DNA sequence: AACGGTTTCGCAACCGTTTGTTGTGTACAA
DNA sequence: TTGTACACAACAAACGGTTGCGAAACCGTT
């Protein structure tokens, strides 16, 4: 037998469905006596409101869309956990859309959000995204959007990001303090198409130049994944101008170079000083302590979700970029 | 201005909405000429079908619910990725429900699935779940359910699991081969309330006894998280009956004992033989190679999702338990 | 008894789409 | 010319719940 509806309750009591609806949602236009009988029958029948009907009527699905470019072991799981926590707290459901770093998938996902009538969208852009016009339709229909982590620089939108430039500067500062004699510093960065890469390079480069360190040509290398990072690092290490210190832009990069470090039995920090930007998980698995600038995927997800909820609640907030706190660990 | 609807197109062309609907979905009862004009107008207006209306009409939301107990850095991200991949391929959306190892949240999530009209549900049970009657309503309404990983033993349901007993046996076999002289073997397991813990203990215990190894009393310990595992291992290591080999039931356990291994500068495998059940990510970050039985969260998610899709497609499959392949790595 | 005000509930439309049924017009065969 | 088959499109109900409006019933007041 199918699920009981409001109509079933109404028939049972010889009243109108509208009255049942009102009673169930506590509308004062229903007498206490009748409301009680309705509640009773509803309980006995095991009535549960049909969200699809409610969604259609209300024009929104009480759901938050989360569009992310990847689900790597680090970072995004924390983001998902934080977003889930915040949105569930407020009774929202979470629709996960994975763009797999593809602009086509991202466009598709934006459309799904529009068609599904999500109440708000959280977006971390794919590597291929060089504009955000595919979010125009959502924007136009009044659906709040918060971009986080991988955002489009210069865009006028609500953004929550990690202060990449600052994080890099902090890392360089720490490196410089610990290894004033560092003769060659290598910076390994992620995909140069991502804005976060730009930010982190800027901090790295500027801080070093302020400290009077002249960057040579191959002192900044790009890797689009962990393996590439490992390969590039190996090249440098086996070359005739070994780095004495290495800066990893992210956990993925750090993971990539660890293999080479183990294989070549490089002693940390005696032979090589390693510093990274990390969310703190990976450094905990390593056999030596390395300093890192802590960026929290959890914190980022939480901040972005909270901001989105405020926008959904019609808080009059101007588009702005919010920076999370970062800290030096160890 | 609001999104254009089928009605808007109909008015534009002085025809009936039903004709527009039929034309747009290629029903043969509409002449080619009219169909073309309708398509044109739809394009010009930027028409997109409203999924909320479609869902209500069809009685399902073209969505898969994924209920998981936790979002730790290992395992579940791979599961999510696999499920997303498979379901997206078939045009389904993915609703993530996080039970946070709480039975109440799990019940709540099951209700959400019912209310939202999901087409199918993928469930990994929480530690507190000792029955699955809260999925009865979904089952009764004809919504297919596939349980995976953390399942209820003995239940009649579609299940996809890792052969935990077999995995443990393989690990013990390998351990025994590599360290025939192992004088004391320590097994560290997860929460004893989980069925997967039972399975893995069974394999561990049985295989060892078959090999003629007599387990002492504190040779099997339980840890509900990584920190606890680390603490328990430390105790054993600092006691006067050090283990010479340790078996970690999962990545989480392995992660927990690594800290102690580093701190005590234990040489692997000379001083301590380590073997684990793992999805392969964590062992790659360690400074030494350890053998492990590879269990794939990705494979598990994929198999479970594929099975669920078959059930949704009304494949007449009897409730059964499917075991994934596991292999010894290194 | 007539009045105004309030409480309480029914009626019907609506959200956007789908679909069974009915109706119209045309073409073709008898 | 009548009958029949078919192509095409309109009508209306339905999915389940919500809500503006109106109406009946009841209250106390004069």
User: What is residue A234's predicted lDDT score, i.e. its pLDDT?
Assistant: 94
User: What is residue B11's predicted lDDT score, i.e. its pLDDT?
Assistant: 94
Contact of A27 with chain B, judged by CB distance below 8 Å, is answered with no
- Residues A28-41 have pLDDT tens digits of 999 999 999 999 99
User: What is residue B179's predicted lDDT score, i.e. its pLDDT?
Assistant: 87
Contact of B90 with chain A, judged by CB distance below 8 Å, is answered with no
Percent residues over pLDDT 90 in chain A: 88
Interface touch A80/B73, C-beta < 8 Å: no
What mean pLDDT do residues A136-140 have? 91
For A74, how many CA atoms within 13 A lie in the half-sphere containing its CB? 24
Å between A130 CA and C27 C1'?
58
- Residues B186-216 have pLDDT tens digits of 999 999 999 999 999 999 999 999 998 887 7
What mean pLDDT do residues B228-232 have? 95
How many other C-beta atoms are found inside a 10 Å radius of the C-beta of residue A329? 15
- Residues A56-95 have pLDDT tens digits of 999 999 999 999 999 988 899 999 999 999 999 999 999 9
Widest CA span of chain A, in angstroms?
90
Interface touch B97/A97, C-beta < 8 Å: no
Q: How far is A47 from chain B (nearest CA, A)?
A: 10
The shortest CB-CB distance from A71 to any of B59, B81, B286 is to B81
What mean pLDDT do residues A265-282 have? 93
Residue A78 structure tokens: 């924390």
What is residue B45's three-state secondary structure? helix
Cβ–Cβ < 8 Å for B172, B245: no
Nucleotide nearest to B16 (CA to C1'): D10
Å between A44 CA and D27 C1'?
35
- Residue A240: pLDDT band with limits 50, 70, 90: confident
DSSP classification of residue B214: P
- Residue A231: pLDDT band with limits 50, 70, 90: very high
User: What is residue B134's predicted lDDT score, i.e. its pLDDT?
Assistant: 96
- Residues A311-320 have pLDDT tens digits of 999 889 999 9
User: What is residue B147's predicted lDDT score, i.e. its pLDDT?
Assistant: 98
User: What is residue A81's predicted lDDT score, i.e. its pLDDT?
Assistant: 95
Nucleotide nearest to A56 (CA to C1'): C15
User: What is residue A213's predicted lDDT score, i.e. its pLDDT?
Assistant: 87
Any strand C atom closer than 7 Å to B25 CB: yes
- Residue B151: pLDDT band with limits 50, 70, 90: very high
DSSP classification of residue B312: H
Mean of all residue pLDDT scores within chain A: 94
What is residue A127's three-state secondary structure? coil
What mean pLDDT do residues B84-112 have? 95
DSSP classification of residue B213: P
What is residue A68's three-state secondary structure? strand
Mean of all residue pLDDT scores within chain B: 94
Positions on chain D within 7 A of a protein C-beta: 7-21
User: What is residue B73's predicted lDDT score, i.e. its pLDDT?
Assistant: 83
Any strand C atom closer than 7 Å to A117 CB: no
What's the N-to-C CA distance of chain B in angstroms? 62
Whether A16 shows a pLDDT value over 90: the answer reads yes
Q: In what order do the strands lie in the sheet with A245-248?
A: A220-222, A185-189, A245-248, A273-278, A292-294, A327-329
What's the N-to-C CA distance of chain A in angstroms? 62
The alpha helices in chain B, defined as continuous H runs, are 6-13, 17-24, 32-45, 51-58, 76-89, 103-116, 136-140, 164-178, 195-210, 226-238, 251-263, 297-312
User: What is residue B216's predicted lDDT score, i.e. its pLDDT?
Assistant: 75
What mean pLDDT do residues A192-207 have? 94
- Neighboring chain B residues of A117 at a CB cutoff of 8 Å: 50-52
């Amino acid at each position: 037998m199918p699920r009981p509806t409001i109509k079933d309750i109404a028939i049972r009591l010889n009243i109108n469905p509208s009255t049942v609806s009102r009673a169930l949602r506590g509308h004062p236009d229903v007498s206490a006596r009748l409301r009680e009988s309705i509640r009773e029958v509803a309980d006995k029948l095991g009535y549960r409101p049909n969200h699809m009907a409610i969604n259609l009527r209300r024009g929104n699905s009480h759901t938050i869309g989360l569009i992310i470019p990847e689900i790597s072991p680090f970072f995004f799981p924390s983001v998902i956990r934080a977003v889930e926590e915040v949105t569930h707290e407020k009774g929202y459901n979470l629709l996960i859309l994975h763009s797999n770093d593809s602009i086509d998938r991202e466009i598709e996902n934006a459309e799904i959000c529009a068609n599904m009538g999500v109440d708000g969208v959280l977006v971390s852009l794919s590597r291929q995204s060089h504009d955000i016009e595919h979010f125009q339709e959502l924007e136009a229909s009044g659906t709040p959007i918060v971009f986080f982590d991988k955002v489009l620089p210069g865009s006028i939108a609500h953004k929550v990001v990690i202060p990449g430039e600052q994080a890099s500067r902090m890392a360089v500062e720490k490196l410089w303090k610990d290894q004033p004699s560092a003769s060659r510093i290598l910076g390994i960065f992620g995909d140069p198409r991502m804005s976060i890469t730009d930010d982190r390079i800027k901090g790295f480069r500027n801080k070093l130049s302020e400290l009077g360190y002249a960057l040579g040509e191959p002192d900044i290398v790009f890797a689009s994944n962990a393996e590439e990072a490992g390969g590039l690092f190996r090249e440098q290490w086996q070359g005739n101008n070994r780095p004495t210190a290495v800066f990893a832009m992210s956990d993925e990069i750090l993971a990539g170079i660890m293999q080479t470090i183990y294989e070549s039995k490089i002693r940390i920090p005696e032979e090589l000083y390693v510093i990274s930007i990390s969310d703190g998980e990976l450094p905990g698995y390593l056999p030596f302590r390395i300093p890192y600038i802590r960026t929290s995927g959890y914190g980022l997800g939480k901040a972005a979700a909270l901001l989105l909820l405020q926008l959904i609640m019609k808080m009059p907030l101007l588009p702005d970029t919010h920076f999370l706190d970062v800290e030096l660990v160890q």
